[in-house]
Amino acid sequence: ISAAQSQTTLESKLEALQCHFTWDQEMSKSLILRRKDNVDDIGTEEGNSWLGHIYNLRGFIQYKLGFTKDAQSFFNKAAEAFRKIRNADEGPWLVVNYGNLAWLHHHLGDQAESQAYLSKVDALMNKYPSPSQDELHPEIYAEKAWTLMKFSPDKTLAADYIQRAIRMQPGMVEWNSSYILALRYASNHSDTGLEADLLEKVRLAMEQDPENLHLAVLYLNQRAKRGEKIEEEARELARKVLRNPVSSHSGIKLLLKVYNYHVSIDEAIDLVEEALETHPDERYLKKCATLCYKLKLTYFRDSHPEQSMIDRAISLLKDVIALYPHSSLVKKIDLANVYAKSKYGQDKAEQIYQELLKSDLEPADKQVLYNYYAKYSNFELKDRNMSIRYHMMAAKIPHQSFFRGNSITILERIKDRGRNRKCREIEEFLENLQEPQ
């Protein structure tokens, strides 16, 4: 076989692998950096049953950013994590990891090493075939689902994959817990919301996985939404969550949401400040804290907030913007909106917005910014026409999102009221609006 034919055969085998390199969705560098921030916040404490998957994903992100040595280090850590968690030197859970290493060595120009990992994948697939002939191995579905939950806007597909894994291999407790969380993520991105029997599914998952506090918080949140009194249970659960290592998987963010809407916003702020006293350098906690202050100052419309609270919110937001340099657009917008609540901060608020409006943003980010600036123009500047103009600009960007839908809803409301002299213009604009492809 000629070298060219050999290379073609190798590449076709690589393309056929199930791993992060073949699941890759085309993403801009800025979006990858944002995903990196999200994955870094998960934490890598011992005992996390998804540790192998976390390291695999972190390795792939490092590869996408051009850090091949770091990528290889993370892929090696993933293999070691799987060995510890599964208490075995090999198994079908290594198929994705070996696939990643085959691709990495191919890109590094080490075709012999790439071929060696391809052979390891073949050996594993032969030794551990899928229980269902027409489907992937459940271990592959589980990792693919977990990756999509973190990396893709299609959370419904993630829920579908993990459901398939559970159907073929029902004894994996962490898969079932993650399926419930995938359903919740999917509902956040759908028009129909959560399916009616989710509460019962969460309850059953908790019985199987009683140590999973994220599930416990989700269960509490669902019950609170149904009108149950959960204040004392929330306070009890908060003690447990605060004792655990800080992580985006610990349930702290959702717990604060439960406090904000079903207990007390002031208690939520006290809770997150108490956590920050114990973990003053945890950026994820600071990020959670900014959400509480933002709600207190901008959504619950405290008409006379104390300057000390505004100053604390500004300080935290500045910290978080510095700690998340690649994913801080919304935090910069929040900072502008908090400044606008201060007696002396209106000029600063406008300055931040103008700098953002002049910056080079991707269409989806522009949409977010225009939607926020439209509301700021209405509520803070009292400039209705500017507000309408920016809602139109947000709606015109052909990217389906909450912000586009929200701007369209507001424009329709203004048109239906019929009080604004731009009603005819808004009507024509909405009639001619192109739907995103």
Any idea where the domains of the chain sit in the sequence? 3-129, 360-437
Mean pLDDT of all residues in 157-166: 94
> What local confidence, expressed as pLDDT, does residue 195 receive?
57
Alpha-carbon Rg of the chain, whole angstroms? 24
* Lowest-pLDDT range of 28-37, 97-106, 183-192, 417-426: 183-192
Q: What is the dihedral of CA 335, 341, 347, 351, to 10 degrees?
A: 20
Check pLDDT > 60 for residue 189.
Answer: no
SS (H, E, C) 303-323: CCCCHHHHHHHHHHHHHHHHH
Sequence-distant (≥ 6) Cβ neighbours of residue 242 within 8 angstroms: 252, 271, 274, 275, 278
Check pLDDT > 70 for residue 191.
Answer: no
Mean pLDDT of all residues in 13-30: 90
The confidence band for 5, taking pLDDT boundaries of 50, 70 and 90, is low
- Under CATH, which architecture does the 3-129 domain have? Alpha Horseshoe (1.25)
* Lowest-pLDDT range of 224-233, 294-303, 327-336: 294-303
> What local confidence, expressed as pLDDT, does residue 193 receive?
46
Check pLDDT > 60 for residue 403.
Answer: yes
CA dist 246 → 184, 242, 281 (Å): 21, 8, 11
* Cβ atoms of residues 55 and 96 within 8 Å: no
The confidence band for 406, taking pLDDT boundaries of 50, 70 and 90, is very high
> What local confidence, expressed as pLDDT, does residue 194 receive?
52
The confidence band for 2, taking pLDDT boundaries of 50, 70 and 90, is low
Structure tokens at 32: 């990858």
Higher pLDDT, 418 or 333: 333
DSSP-assigned states of every residue in 142-163: HHHHHHHHHH-S-HHHHHHHHH
pTM comes to: 0.90
| Distance in angstroms (rounded) separating the CA atoms of residues 261 and 259 | 6
Sequence-distant (≥ 6) Cβ neighbours of residue 115 within 8 angstroms: 10, 102
Mean pLDDT of all residues in 84-92: 95
Cα angle for residues 8, 10, 15 (degrees, 5° grid) = 95
- CA of residue 123 relative to chain centroid, distance: 35
* Cβ atoms of residues 242 and 275 within 8 Å: yes
- CA of residue 382 relative to chain centroid, distance: 34
